[in-house]
């Protein structure tokens, strides 16, 4: 991997020392640091003011107990987290993840990434993230409600539309957000719509919020291809996952003329050479909450139990499942099969070794902090509507999303050119996101 700048290496060593056993956080920090050498060389004032050291330490880390009672009357105890990472550009903004894998290192990695993702949008948003090791899968609505109410009973002390604005993420959809908002309203006696984003349309939500991350990733790919004089028409696309992001990425890619031939879940993957039936996929995964194998059976498509969806040849790869799902081997397989574009729809789904494989092969690669910024873009639009007591149409909101994703793409390209790394979306995204935050930190003094 790229050697760190002499002024960055000791900062990274200190991150490892101060945050032991948090591998995902270490990976996220190193990935950013590896692209900042030209920034430190051009702007030594950032290093002189210890901006990097300060940025690697969250402003606030909250860990709390979440007791709740299951349907059998047994008391269960989970752990809740909220890392309020950086507020120099605006209130903390980032999702809540409910999944057994959640621990402090995951939340810090996600919050660190969120700082730069939110900065890239150009909107006045800080970065944060939260969640719990609670698993909503297999739980009744009553159990999920009781857990969410207990979780919000503690979290409500730390959030607000001018302080910290959580949203949904893995395991936190419309059902969970409804229970969370209801408890916040009950505890505070305020109908403060701007305190959460991703809300239902009947109680302060925004059109396109459900579709935003998936749509946004495809809009970013559209811009990447346009720089090469190409478009999505006729492109063969593979999407990993079959959750909200994956489904809507597949939907938008097909609307723009692509053929989406595969998607996956934790059990295996399906290959549908006719192109995914999006309506059936939505019914199986979001209505019935069933396995992707059921889609394959009803659609009479090929199902592979286990294995890697990245064995399926494609022109465009959209990893939309989870962190570190594409490693060295999967990346080499994609390159061998002729992939042209890889855009991260999830947070850090490609390992550093995989990214190096793509770069060395000349594959256009877009990191998650740029390509999957659509969710936070539409969250910001939801906040604007809440503040003005307004409601926009689907078409208007989608137009705003598409325009902002194009602006993010162009910002990455221009920044990479300015720092003599043309075509490097990783460097462009990291540098553009970092410098906006760093300049604000310098302006505020030592805080």
Q: Each residue of 388-421: b (16+ CB within 10 Å) or e?
A: eeeebeeeebbebbbebbeebbebbbebbeebeb
314-342 mean pLDDT:
97
- What pLDDT sits at residue 144? 98
> DSSP letters along 238-255, please?
EEE--SHHHHHHHHHHHH
∠ CA 407-421-124, nearest 5°, is 35
Q: What span, in angstroms and rounded, lies between the C-alpha atoms of 287 and 377?
A: 26
pLDDT of residue 412 exceeding 60, the answer is yes
Angle, helices 244-255/212-226, rounded to nearest 10 degrees: 40
252 catalytic per annotation = no
247-269 mean pLDDT:
97
188-210 mean pLDDT:
95
- What pLDDT sits at residue 289? 87
Query: How confident is the model over 142-175, as pLDDT tens digits?
Result: 999 999 999 999 999 999 999 999 999 989 998 9
Q: How many CA atoms lie within 13 A of 189 on its CB side?
A: 0
365-390 mean pLDDT:
95
Mean pLDDT (the chain) is 96
Query: How confident is the model over 71-88, as pLDDT tens digits?
Result: 999 999 999 999 999 999
**Greater pLDDT, 1 or 12:** 12
Catalytic one among 117, 129, 199, 369? 129
pTM score: 0.94
Nearby residues of 164 by Cβ (< 8 Å), 6 or more positions away: 82, 84, 91, 92, 93, 128, 158
- What pLDDT sits at residue 1? 52
Q: What is the DSSP letter of 160?
A: B
- What pLDDT sits at residue 401? 97
Query: How confident is the model over 4-48, as pLDDT tens digits?
Result: 999 999 999 999 999 999 999 999 999 999 999 999 999 999 999
Split at pLDDT 50, 70, 90, the class of 3 is confident
244-269 mean pLDDT:
97
Nearby residues of 435 by Cβ (< 8 Å), 6 or more positions away: 39, 43, 415
Percent of all residues in the chain with a pLDDT value above 70, rounded to a whole number: 100
Task: Lowest mean pLDDT of 70-79, 283-292, 293-302, 427-436, name the range.
Answer: 283-292
Split at pLDDT 50, 70, 90, the class of 285 is very high
């Amino acid at each position: 991997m790229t050697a760190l700048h002499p002024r960055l290496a000791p900062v990274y060593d200190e991150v490892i020392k101060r945050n032991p056993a948090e591998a995902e956080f270490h990976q996220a920090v190193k990935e950013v640091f590896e692209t900042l050498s030209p920034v430190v060389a051009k702007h030594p004032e950032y290093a002189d003011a210890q901006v990097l050291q300060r940025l690697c330490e969250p402003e606030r880390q909250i860990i709390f107990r979440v007791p709740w009672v299951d349907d059998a009357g047994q008391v269960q105890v989970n752990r809740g987290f909220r890392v309020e990472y950086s507020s120099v550009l605006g209130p903390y903004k980032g999702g809540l993840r409910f999944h057994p894998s959640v621990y402090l290192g995951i939340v810090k990695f996600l919050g660190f990434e969120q700082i730069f993702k939110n900065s890239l949008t150009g909107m006045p948003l800080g970065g944060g993230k939260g969640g719990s090791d609670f698993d909503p899968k297999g739980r009744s609505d009553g159990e999920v409600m009781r857990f969410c109410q207990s979780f919000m009973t503690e979290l409500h002390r730390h959030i607000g539309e001018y302080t910290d604005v959580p949203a949904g993420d893995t395991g936190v959809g419309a059902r969970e957000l409804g229970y969370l908002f209801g408890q916040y309203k009950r505890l505070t006696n305020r109908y403060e719509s701007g305190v959460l984003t991703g809300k239902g349309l009947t109680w302060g939500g925004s059109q396109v919020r459900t579709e935003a991350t998936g749509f946004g990733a495809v809009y970013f790919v559209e811009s990447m291809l346009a720089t090469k004089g190409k478009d999505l028409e006729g492109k063969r696309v593979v999407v990993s996952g079959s959750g909200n992001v994956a489904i809507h990425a597949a939907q938008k890619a097909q609307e723009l003329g692509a053929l989406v031939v595969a998607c996956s879940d934790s059990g295996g993957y399906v290959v549908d050479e006719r192109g995914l039936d999006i309506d059936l996929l939505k019914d199986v995964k979001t209505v019935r909450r069933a396995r992707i194998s059921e889609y394959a059976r009803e659609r009479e498509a090929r199902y592979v139990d286990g294995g890697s969806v990245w064995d399926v040849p494609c022109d465009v790869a959209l990893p939309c499942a989870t962190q570190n799902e594409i490693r060295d081997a999967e990346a080499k397989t994609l390159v061998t099969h002729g992939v042209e574009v890889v855009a991260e729809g999830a947070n850090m789904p490609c390992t550093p070794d995989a990214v190096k494989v793509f770069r060395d092969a000349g594959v256009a690669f877009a990191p998650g902090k740029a390509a999957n910024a659509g969710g936070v873009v539409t969250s910001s639009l939801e906040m604007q509507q809440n503040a003005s007591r307004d409601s926009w149409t689907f078409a208007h909101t989608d137009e705003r999303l598409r325009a902002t994703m194009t602006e993010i793409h162009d910002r990455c390209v221009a920044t990479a050119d300015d720092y003599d790394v043309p075509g490097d979306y990783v460097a462009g995204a990291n540098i553009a996101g970092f410098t906006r935050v760093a300049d604000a930190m310098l302006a505020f003094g030592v805080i």
